[in-house]
Structure 1
Amino acid sequence: MFEMKKIIGSLLMPLPVLLVTLFIALLFCVKQKKLPWSVSFISVLCLWLISTPWMASILVAPLEAQFPAFNASKHPVVQKIVVLGCDVRPNPALPANSQLGNCAITRLVEGVRLANLYPNAELFVSGAGIGKATNSALMTQTAMSLGIARSRIKQNPMALDTADEARFLAPHLVDFKVALVTSGSHMHRAKSLFNAQGIEVIPAPTDFANFESWHSSRMWIANADALRIVTAHVHEWVGLTWLSLVRLIDPEAM
């Protein structure tokens, strides 16, 4: 009964409801214009598929499987911890942690965890933001509220993307033991960009898309979180393709 309730509840969420409604509407158009109907039907079907945890788990695996979670027992020394920026939602009425999106807060928590494991390491928080509210400043305030001393935290507020983050931080990181914290899907591209700046990083991925615990009956139901995760991974594939093209034209570009 509990699982049935969960299945029905999942089907009543906006994404599956709208897709089912659109599919039913298309059935009434099938006899009028076959080509537009076929294209629409395939589009709806594809949208449903990439919104399911089943398909999402298949699509995200190639990127996330490359780097396992950080294992402190394999790295006795870490001198610098770099947390890359992500989404921010500025609102002065809220505490700093509530102005960080899920991706940013997940990365920061992993950075703080590593800072506690390596009490002598510096914590670099990176990323620009919206207006005067930068990812770096919000992460700094949040890290301090979680017990990290302000003297240990270094900000990188001017970086607009990962290439900027690697370039701006390089003078502070070269020849040090550096743990790089970012989302599992983003680690491949981030590590490549930092390596290009002469920084050998120890991957510390987080923010994994974890569908292993989902009940099999719900793996085929369209889900907004699954679609968001797939979108983030497609963004990474586009980013990797762009990086390859840029380096093909100019190997020294980034």
Structure 2
Amino acid sequence: MDFLFTLKKLFGMFASPTGLILIFLLLAIIFYKAKPKLSFRTLCLGFVVFLLGSMPPIADRLLYPFEQQYDALNTIPQNSEYIVVLGCAHTSDETMPALSQLKDCSLARVVEAVRLYRLQPNLTIITSGSNFDERISNAQMVKRAAIELGVPSSKILTENYPLDTEEEAQLIAPRVQGKGVILVTSANHMPRAVKYFEHYGVDVTPAPTHFLVKDFYGEKNLGYYLPRPSALEKSTRALYESLGQLWQWLKT
């Protein structure tokens, strides 16, 4: 696997709320005897990061700006020819159907792609994504899942080697340039994905899915203000996309 890609992923992992908490806890252990005051302060910092990152109001406020930039797609543009499904993740287990092997992000994306395909069955689906140390690529696993949902194999093309969003845009662009392209990816990932495809000369119609923040302005009950693991996931995604957009800005 590409060294720069691995380094980028490791940095993203340790720059996440969970990564920061682990770093603070490790520092607290290291300084426990030599510098007990510093140890206590780092322990407190870890607790604060954990608490704030786990609060739904804070997590939703952090992630919502990424997810609200594009609305869900309900009408297929007349010039559309392709549905491009960006890769995410799966865990190979041949005892299960392909749909069950997909992680939430990939599952949401393939379901959205199939929904759009059923609205206009003359479209061709392009799935994308490397194997990331799994036995088969994410592109192939998503294709299998789409076939399980009733899409003919002949209507699905795969791009099996991209490691990240930029490579997906770079490798898919020559195939779809000048065509009508619907882009399917997670809502929080969509702003960065659109910019990469535009950078490589492809105008896309965004079809965001896998919205993690729902009913943002709706009435909330008391339980909404209590810490929960799902909020920590949202905070992680918000920080990851912030870093991703910073990296994108630095490179382009």
Q: How would you bin the TM-score normalised by the shorter chain? A: 0.7 to 0.9
Matched, 1:153 2:143: no
Within a 5 Å distance, the mapping from 1:6-45 to structure 2 comes to 33-45=36-48
Structure number with greater Rg is 1
Structure 2 unaligned segments of length 5 or more: list them.
1-17, 19-24, 26-31
The residue aligned with 1:244 is: 249
Residue 175 of structure 1: how far off its partner (Å): 0.6
Output the CA distance in 1 between the equivalents of 2:44 and 2:221: 25
Within a 5 Å distance, the mapping from 1:63-78 to structure 2 comes to 63-72=66-75, 75-78=77-80
Output the CA distance in 2 between the equivalents of 1:159 and 1:90: 18
Structure 1 unaligned segments of length 5 or more: list them.
1-14, 16-21, 23-28, 248-254
Change (3 A) 1:228 1:151: same
One-letter code aligned to 1:245: L
Matched, 1:117 2:119: yes
Residue 127 of structure 1: how far off its partner (Å): 0.5
Residue 39 of structure 1: how far off its partner (Å): 3.6
Residue 172 of structure 1: how far off its partner (Å): 1.3
1:175-208: per-residue Cα shift (whole Å, max 9, x none)? 1110000011101110011111110000100111
Output the CA distance in 2 between the equivalents of 1:112 and 1:186: 19
TM-score with structure 1 setting the length: 0.80
The residue aligned with 2:225 is: 220
1:112-142: per-residue Cα shift (whole Å, max 9, x none)? 1111111111001110123432111111111
* Aligned Cα root-mean-square deviation (Å): 2.1
The number of residue pairs the alignment matches comes to 218
Output the CA distance in 2 between the equivalents of 1:225 and 1:71: 27
**Contact map agreement 1:78 1:118 (CA 8 A) in 2:** no
The residue aligned with 2:60 is: 57
Output the CA distance in 2 between the equivalents of 1:38 and 1:154: 53
TM-score with structure 2 setting the length: 0.80
The residue aligned with 2:194 is: 191
**Contact map agreement 1:53 1:211 (CA 8 A) in 2:** no
Alignment partner of 2:238 out of 215, 233, 238: 233
**Percentage of pairs with the same residue:** 33
Residue 211 of structure 1: how far off its partner (Å): 4.4
Residue 69 of structure 1: how far off its partner (Å): 0.9
Change (3 A) 1:214 1:159: farther
The residue aligned with 1:48 is: 51
